[in-house]
Amino acid sequence: MEHFDFIEMKLPAKPEYVGVIRLSISGIANRMGFTYEDIEDLKVAISEAMTNATTHAYEDNEEGEVTVGFGIYKNRLEIMVADHGGSFDLNEIKAGTGPYQQTEEIESLREGGFGLFLIDALMDKVEIRNDYGVIVLMTKNLSINEVDIDDDQISTTQ
């Protein structure tokens, strides 16, 4: 079986912890050898997922919790963001997502709905399950020319 390290965090479903989860993924991705650009993408993606979890699932319940899991593989980082609160209407959310279209009137432009679109645009693979609460699974691949977490040598052309 493919080896991986797993980190799990449980956070209160409150917006003040979105910045905290962002710092966490920054550390993990940095340790794995992701580039600066990829780390910035990961920060946006996980923040969007965490924001969704805090705003959609726990609107009437301040006791909610969000579980975040990091699967650290040799060639990729798998992230799971799960809330165990009530589920939202996934189709409705999906229908309201996507880039701005030139034909849209500014007056009717939505202020939300870019979250899932950005996750999709920034990650290599995204899967959303809506069975018990909402689970967002997303994967970012580590490019082969990036340094591996187990590498103990640095080669240089100089």
Partner 1 sequence: MNINLDVEMIEQDNMTTLVLSGEIDAYTAPVLKEALLPLTKQPNTEVIVDLEKVNYMDSTGLGVFISALKSSKEHSTSLKLIQLQDRVHRLFKITSLDSIITIDTTVRGGN
Q: Which residue stretch of 63-71, 73-81, 101-109, 143-151 sits at the interface with partner 1 (rule: CB under 8 A)?
A: 101-109
Long-range contacts of 121-128 (CB under 8 A, 24+ apart): 122/41, 122/42, 122/44, 122/45, 123/41, 123/42, 123/45, 124/76, 128/90
The residue among 51 and 130 lying less far from partner 1, judged by its C-beta, is: 51
Best CA proximity match to 82, nearest among 56, 50, 60, 59: 50
**Measured from the CB of residue 104, what is the shortest distance to partner 1 in angstroms?**
9
Per-residue x/- track, 13-42, partner 1 (CB under 8 A): --xx-xxx-xx-------------x--x--
Positive or negative: CA dihedral 119, 53, 21, 33: negative
**Measured from the CB of residue 143, what is the shortest distance to partner 1 in angstroms?**
18
Tokens of 100: 């701005």
Distance between alpha carbon 133 and the CA centroid of its chain, in Å? 16
The residue among 60 and 99 lying less far from partner 1, judged by its C-beta, is: 99
The residue among 6 and 98 lying less far from partner 1, judged by its C-beta, is: 98
Could you give the CA distance from residue 3 to residue 130 in angstroms, rounded to a whole number?
Answer: 28
- Asked if 130 contacts 87 with a C-beta cutoff of 8 angstroms, the reply is yes
Q: Give the count of residues interacting with partner 1 (CB under 8 A).
A: 33
Q: Is 74 in the site for partner 1 (CB under 8 A)?
A: no
Q: Which residues bind partner 1 (CB under 8 A)?
A: 15-16, 18-20, 22-23, 37, 40, 43-44, 47-48, 50-51, 54-55, 99-102, 106-107, 109-115, 117-118, 121
